[in-house]
Amino acid sequence: MISNKELFENYHSGKNLTHNVSSIYDKNFIEAKSSTLSKYLKTQNNIILDLCCGAGDYSRIIDPFSNHYYGVDFSLPMLKEFQYSSLYNKNMQLINSDANQMPFENETFDLCFSYSSVYCFDDIPKLLNEINRVLKYNAIAILEFSTKHNINAFVSNYRAKNDKWAQAFFISYDDMKNFVEASRFDILEEKNFQFFPVLRGPWWSIIIANSFLRPLLKIKYKGKMLDERISSLKIFKKYSFKHILVLQKK
């Protein structure tokens, strides 16, 4: 299997990972992540770390004139694509680095966020410890985890073997919570998504996801998708796929 580094340097581009999507469900999911980030950008002069920033789609939420933005990614082609895009300006700092060993001093950042990336690391405790190291006391980390024990994890693994998706290292929901606690973070907020199959993989998953689930789950009620409301129920959330955790460094 192709390594994730080789995959993102040679096969993927910002066009593969763009937020310019047609699906209303996907638009709503991206909006849920974006609004969570915006919620915690409460003051100016934040020093912000966009970890595994790729081509920088979430940077559009950050005002680089009011905040200090640092984008880190291990893929130099992705960073170059970001640098030559309309999202980039000279006040941004882009760094080509391994997320497990970043070139920053201790307690540098006020906020770190990482979407669609944490589950690509084979040692999540190591990654969490490194994030904790570079955050200031009481600083915020907003991280998107994906866990196993659900159909979406199976489909993701299937696509990694057959369609050049990134290799994922899914963990259990309980391990996720334990790793966070052991890495000296408090959980301030948790959002859960995709208890039901929504990814397109083998023929049967396409039928299930496209036939009625995605059109149904995109429906919003009081500002939240039906997907999030169902996936966050106590009996379901351990078996949901996507988890956005807002963490505070102890």
Contacts with 172 (C-beta within 8 Å, 6 or more apart), sequence order:
147, 148, 149, 238
**Ordered domains of the chain (ranges, CATH):** 4-249 (3.40.50.150)
Q: How confident is the model at residue 165 (pLDDT cuts 50, 70, 90)?
A: confident
Q: Is the pTM of this model over 0.85?
A: yes
> CA nearest 62: which of 38, 30, 97?
38
pLDDT tens-digit readout, 175-204: 999 999 999 999 999 999 999 888 877 756
Q: What is the pLDDT of residue 3?
A: 85
Give the residue with greater pLDDT, 30 vs 163: 30
What's the DSSP call for residue 87? T
Helical spans, DSSP H, in 40-98: 76-83
Between 138 and 213, the higher pLDDT residue: 138
Here the tokens at position 107 are 């307690």
The residue with tokens 């559009």 is 60
At residue 71, the 3 state secondary structure works out as: strand
Give the three-state DSSP class for 139.
strand
> In the predicted model, what is the mean pLDDT of residues 229-234?
96
